[in-house]
Amino acid sequence: MNILNPRKAPNKLMVDQAEDDDDISTVKLHPEKLNDLGIMVGDPVLLVGKRRRTTLCIALENDSDNCKEGNIYMSRGTRKNLNVKLADTVTCKVPGEVPNLTKVDIRAFDDTIEGVTGDITQTFLAPYFKDAFRPLHKGDCFTVRGNFKAVEFKVFETEPKEFGIYASNTVLFAQGEPYKREDDDMAQDVGYEDIGGCRKQMAQIREMIELPLRHPLLFKTLGVKPPRGVLLYGPPGSGKTLIARAVANETGAFFFLINGPEIMSKQSGQAEENLRKAFDEAEKNSPAIIFIDNWTQSHQREIRQTERLKDVLSRSCLH
């Protein structure tokens, strides 16, 4: 039995296993669900998974007798792009106008092209996109099989929007350096579920940081000024930076890390200038979270640096 109520949340669907585990281009839904959402077979749909991860797919009809109306059937690759697992929930949206992509930049993962010779673009990507009109989303990963080899690729850039359809006139750039697997592992988003033993602290932090970022009009309506900063303190390894990254990922905010000692300078006014540059960069990528990591080996020195940092922020009118 589906635990989701289709009447209350018609576009909230439970993730289920697709028959083709390599195809990230399509998802399948129950015929009644397609009709309920106003989606025709072959329409592009925008899927939203965990931590605001999104991808674009083509909606198809699942006419299997075992198909459930509240489920959406997707491949392993699509689940990876959405950062979800089987039985998780995703949101299915009609994206409106979906453009044909003019340019895309695609790179192969370095560990999947070891021993591969020849032109990778002509051997793998050209046949994969030929006459297929595949949907692509910036940040997506997909696997192409050919010549008894499976090569994994990552979509780096797309124009004119972050998602669209790869058409016959789309210009493909695939000559850049191969993408390192460890870079992709480091880029994996950290979420609230990755943090343990800080339930009370996380509740307070979410109330002070996440609420103003996601619902700024709430504070404006109530006439209350939202918190502008939070001080996290604790011994090294207690999870201060991890918590800050988790909040940024969960809220979709731009994350800017500053090491406290790095912004300090012997020259008068230089520390303030360094902070202004950081805040200007964050303003360009609003909403943003600036995390100032001020830990040092000496606790007494940490206290002195914290006091000086407060003074710099005060004089910079940035607190």
DSSP 107-142: EEBGGGSTT--S-HIIIIIHHHHTTT--EEETT-EE
The pLDDT value recorded for residue 279 is 84
CA angle 246-252-255, nearest 5°? 65
Between CA 148 and CA 155 the distance in angstroms is: 23
85, 134: one domain:
no
The values of phi and psi at residue 208, to 5°, are -85, -30
Both tokens of 40, joined, read 């025709």
Q: Are 310 and 263 in contact (CB under 8 A)?
A: no
Is residue 236 assigned to a domain?
yes
Both tokens of 23, joined, read 């195809």
Is residue 167 assigned to a domain?
yes
Last residue of a domain, one of 128, 157, 186: 186
Is residue 62 assigned to a domain?
yes
**pTM (2 d.p.):** 0.62
Is residue 130 assigned to a domain?
yes
| Residues of the chain predicted below pLDDT 70 | 1-8, 182-189, 193, 252, 260-266, 268, 294-319
Is residue 162 assigned to a domain?
yes
The pLDDT value recorded for residue 286 is 76
The pLDDT value recorded for residue 162 is 94
Between CA 157 and CA 160 the distance in angstroms is: 10
Checking DSSP bridges between strand 288-293 and strand 254-259, what pairing results, if any?
A: parallel
Task: Name residue, tokens 């959406």.
Answer: 72
Is residue 98 assigned to a domain?
no
Distances (CA, A) of 80 to 84, 133, 179: 6, 22, 17
Of the CA atoms within 13 Å of residue 81, those in its CB half-sphere come to 29
The pLDDT value recorded for residue 188 is 59
Is residue 4 assigned to a domain?
no
**Cis ω for the linkage preceding 160 (within 30 of 0):** yes
Task: Name residue, tokens 């191969």.
Answer: 178
CA angle 31-33-35, nearest 5°? 75
Last residue of a domain, one of 139, 154, 186: 186
Per the structure, the count of domains in the chain is 3
Domain boundaries, position 18: 12-93
309, 207: one domain:
yes
Q: For residue 207, give the H/E element and its range.
A: none
For the stretch 181-190, what's the b/e string if a residue is b when 16 or more beta carbons lie within 10 angstroms of its beta carbon? eeeeeeeebb
Q: Select from 88, 96, 95, 91 the least CA-distant residue to 10.
A: 91
108, 38: one domain:
no
Q: Are 36 and 4 in contact (CB under 8 A)?
A: no
131, 231: one domain:
no
Between CA 86 and CA 73 the distance in angstroms is: 10
Q: Select from 210, 198, 182 the least CA-distant residue to 111.
A: 182
Is residue 2 assigned to a domain?
no
Q: Are 205 and 243 in contact (CB under 8 A)?
A: yes
212, 267: one domain:
yes
* Residue 166 belongs to domain with CATH number: 3.10.330.10
133, 36: one domain:
no
* Residue 44 belongs to domain with CATH number: 2.40.40.20
Q: Select from 151, 150, 155 the least CA-distant residue to 138.
A: 155
The pLDDT value recorded for residue 304 is 56
